[in-house]
């Protein structure tokens, strides 16, 4: 695995791969890698060779009072894990390389970026879209892989890619969970043992919704009640938002129709976690994937 620190060198490597008609895949990450990230790498390996993984903790997507400074950084373990997954290139630029002095351009996906995560974290999606656009421009992959764990982010990146005629095909991948259902996240490292236990309520809430949908419930208000009831049962969790939205517009729905997401954001102690379930209409019935 070659470690690449500069955009210029990454572009050169990518140009060479394309000239040999190889299919370059990119998995963008912020490091502190776990099975969720590795699942994206495995998906990339199935479709692409070579595979590049980027590790960049993007300051532009953190608010002033957020955890940029203390965000977990586990470089040695990340490098070793990617090596053993036979990743070809690890692109790990410095902040100065990504945002040189005088940098003043950003990209915003209007509307989609203002709701839900965007409302709770002003400027977050502008930072995400800008860095992803830069990574796609530098790496020029044929395919780029993102987790459905960050469903709104995935939707925003797909919209940006369509709007700006980007070449990379955006691939969404399933959520990887711990055996007790907690969605893997680099931020789970912040949880103490009690919080770690309480955090399973997010999954339990989505699983309760799945059962309710299976027994015929279609009304969004009733389904939201089910989600809220489970979360309320955990006093150490405070809900930020819970919504059922259309999977394209990310606007709230009154009743299930087509493809929707049930989206949750909550604080467990001081740690903010998000999770979701994908709800797909399937010949008159609905399938819920958590
Ligand atoms: P991050 O390092 O948190 O920015 O995440 C990098 C990529 O990994 C994003 O596309 C995330 O959606 C994805 N990801 C994070 N956690 C998971 C998970 N539990 N399952 C699947 N993908 C994930």
Which residue, by CA, sits nearest to atom 12 of ligand 1? Answer: 147
Q: How many angstroms does the Cα of residue 220 sit away from the middle of ligand 1?
A: 27
Atom of ligand 1 nearest to the CA of 186: 3
pLDDT for 284 equals 85
Handedness of CA 85, 7, 155, 117 (dihedral sign): positive
pLDDT for 27 equals 99
Residues lining ligand 1, Cβ inside 6 A: 29-30, 36-37, 39-40, 146-147, 149-150, 173, 175-176, 183-186
Atom of ligand 1 nearest to the CA of 30: 2
Which residue, by CA, sits nearest to atom 14 of ligand 1? Answer: 147
For each of the chain's 290 residues, which pLDDT tens digit applies? 999 999 999 999 999 999 999 999 999 999 999 999 999 999 999 999 999 999 999 999 999 999 999 999 999 999 999 999 999 999 999 999 999 999 999 999 999 999 999 999 999 999 999 999 999 999 999 999 999 999 999 999 999 999 999 999 999 999 999 999 999 999 999 999 999 999 999 999 999 999 999 999 999 999 999 999 999 999 999 999 999 999 999 999 999 999 999 999 999 999 999 999 999 999 889 999 99
Residue 269 contacts by C-beta under 8 Å, 6 or more apart in sequence?
190, 191, 192, 195, 236
Q: Within 13 Å and on the Cβ side, how many CA atoms surround 271? A: 21
DSSP symbols for 49-108: BSEEEEE---GGGS-TTSSTTTS---HHHHHHHHHHTT-SEEE---HHHHS-TT------
Residue with tokens 């977050």: 124
Q: How many angstroms does the Cα of residue 232 sit away from the middle of ligand 1?
A: 27
Mutate to test the pocket of ligand 1, among 37, 146, 178 (most ligand atoms within 8 A of CB): 37
Q: How many angstroms does the Cα of residue 147 sit away from the middle of ligand 1?
A: 5
Cis omega before residue 50 (within 30°)?
yes
Positions marked catalytic:
37
Is this model's pTM higher than 0.85 or not? yes
What is the chain's length? 290
Distance CA 87, CA 125 (A): 28
Atom of ligand 1 nearest to the CA of 174: 21
pLDDT for 105 equals 98
Q: How many angstroms does the Cα of residue 38 sit away from the middle of ligand 1?
A: 9
Residue 18 contacts by C-beta under 8 Å, 6 or more apart in sequence?
24, 140
**Burial of residue 274 (number of CB atoms within 10 Å: 0-12, 13-18, 19+):** buried
Which residue, by CA, sits nearest to atom 17 of ligand 1? Answer: 36
Q: How many angstroms does the Cα of residue 43 sit away from the middle of ligand 1?
A: 13
Residue 50 contacts by C-beta under 8 Å, 6 or more apart in sequence?
17, 22, 24, 25, 88, 89
pLDDT for 10 equals 98
């Amino acid at each position: 695995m070659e470690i690449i620190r500069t955009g210029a060198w990454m572009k050169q490597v990518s140009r060479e791969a394309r000239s040999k008609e190889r299919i370059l895949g990119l998995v963008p990450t912020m490091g502190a890698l776990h099975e969720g990230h590795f699942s994206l790498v495995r998906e990339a390996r199935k479709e692409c060779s070579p595979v590049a993984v980027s590790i960049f903790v993007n300051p532009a997507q953190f608010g002033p009072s957020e955890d940029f400074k203390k965000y977990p950084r586990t470089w040695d373990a990340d490098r070793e894990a990617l090596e053993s997954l036979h990743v070809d290139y690890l692109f790990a630029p410095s902040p100065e390389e990504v945002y040189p002095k005088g940098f003043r351009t950003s990209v915003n996906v209007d509307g989609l970026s203002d709701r839900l995560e965007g409302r709770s974290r002003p400027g977050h999606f502008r930072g995400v879209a800008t860095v992803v656009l830069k990574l796609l421009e530098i790496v020029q992959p044929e395919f780029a892989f993102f987790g459905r764990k960050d469903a709104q982010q995935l939707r925003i990146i797909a919209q940006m890619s369509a709007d700006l005629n980007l070449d990379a095909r955006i691939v969404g991948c399933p959520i990887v969970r711990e055996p007790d259902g907690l969605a893997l996240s680099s931020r789970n490292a912040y949880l103490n043992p009690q919080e770690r236990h309480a955090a399973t309520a997010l999954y339990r809430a989505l699983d309760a919704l799945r059962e309710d949908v299976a027994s015929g419930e279609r009304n969004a208000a009733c389904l939201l009640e089910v989600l809220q009831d489970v979360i309320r049962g955990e006093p150490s969790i405070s809900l930020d938002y819970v919504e059922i939205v259309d999977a394209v517009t990310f606007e709230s729905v009154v009743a299930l129709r087509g493809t929707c997401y049930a989206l949750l954001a909550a604080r467990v102690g001081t740690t903010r976690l998000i999770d979701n379930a994908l709800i797909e209409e399937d010949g008159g019935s609905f399938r819920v994937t958590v």
